[in-house]
Amino acid sequence: MNREPEFDSGDKALTDQNFWNENWESDNVSVIDLQKLGYRQIELINYIKQLRFNQNRRILEIGVGPGVKLYELAGSLDLEPWGLDFSETACRLARQNALANGIAAVIIRGNIFSPPFSPGGFGITLSQGLIEHFVNPLEILRQCSELVAPGGYLITTIPNIAGFCGLLVKSIDPDNFKKHIVINLTDLRFMYEELKLEVVFSGPLGGIYIPYYPKVKSFIIWFFLGALRKTLPLLLNRLNFKSEYFSSELLIVGKK
């Protein structure tokens, strides 16, 4: 019988396993096409391509979810994908996606506070939309950093809750907003400096994007936001528009 991963008592999460199991339950197996990547993924891949790797080509995503973003990165960059998640549903989907796409991935159900890995085992440790769900995001980053090999990189992306997207979510989905800690680029840089990481890059990632399809009662508002979600990002992404306030995500890369 698998033991349920547990959080250390000193680190409060704003979400639990039930939340993420339900969040991923409706996901289906995805076909991964490296020739049809989204604007955000292409941009992140291009940033990583500029990094100087040592011989360690293993990339570990903490909070891997269904694994699609990890597999797109690993496939585009010739990296060996590993994933860790405490959600049973996420791990099942990540394994199914790997199998369906012929990807040799290692997916482990576990807890970042007691990771089943030796320190310094990965060339890249990555989290995408993880740390903002914890009251103490610095401690999460500290745990992630411990798994990075000397000369390797800690890469963190978060939804830009401090910007336009956060304002939108707070207005129309306040319950969802409460599951996030507001973190800006200054906060990210401070935390990386606290961990003695050399900040290689920090800035906005991707163009404007409406990240959550709002559940609103008014059909007019629902229709307007739906149209905005489809058309505005397409237009601004073609113009390569990025902004610390309007971009949907924030990115920081640190070298150990």
pLDDT in tens, 161-220: 998 888 878 887 888 888 889 999 999 999 999 999 999 999 999 767 665 554 555 666
Asked if residue 67 belongs to a domain, the reply is yes
Cβ atoms < 10 Å from Cβ of 208: 22
Asked if residue 228 belongs to a domain, the reply is no
Label residue 248 by pLDDT band (50, 70, 90): confident
Domain count, the chain: 1
Q: Compute the distance between CA of residue 229 and CA of residue 217 in angstroms, rounded to an integer.
A: 17
Convert the pLDDT of each residue in 70-125 to its tens digit.
999 999 999 999 999 999 999 999 999 999 999 999 999 999 999 999 999 999 99
Asked if residue 218 belongs to a domain, the reply is no
Residue 206: what pLDDT? Answer: 78
Residue type, 137: P
Residue 240: what pLDDT? Answer: 60
> Residue 145's closest CA among 173, 174, 117, 180?
117
Helix (H, G, I), strand (E, B) or coil at 133: helix
| CATH number of the CATH domain containing 115 | 3.40.50.150
Residue 155 in tokens: 């890469």
Asked if residue 165 belongs to a domain, the reply is no
Residue 10: what pLDDT? Answer: 42
Q: What is the pTM of this model?
A: 0.85
Asked if residue 98 belongs to a domain, the reply is yes
Residue 254: what pLDDT? Answer: 97
Asked if residue 229 belongs to a domain, the reply is no
Write out the residue range of the structural domain in which residue 52 sits.
17-159+175-207+244-255
Asked if residue 21 belongs to a domain, the reply is yes
Q: Is the pLDDT of residue 22 over 90?
A: no
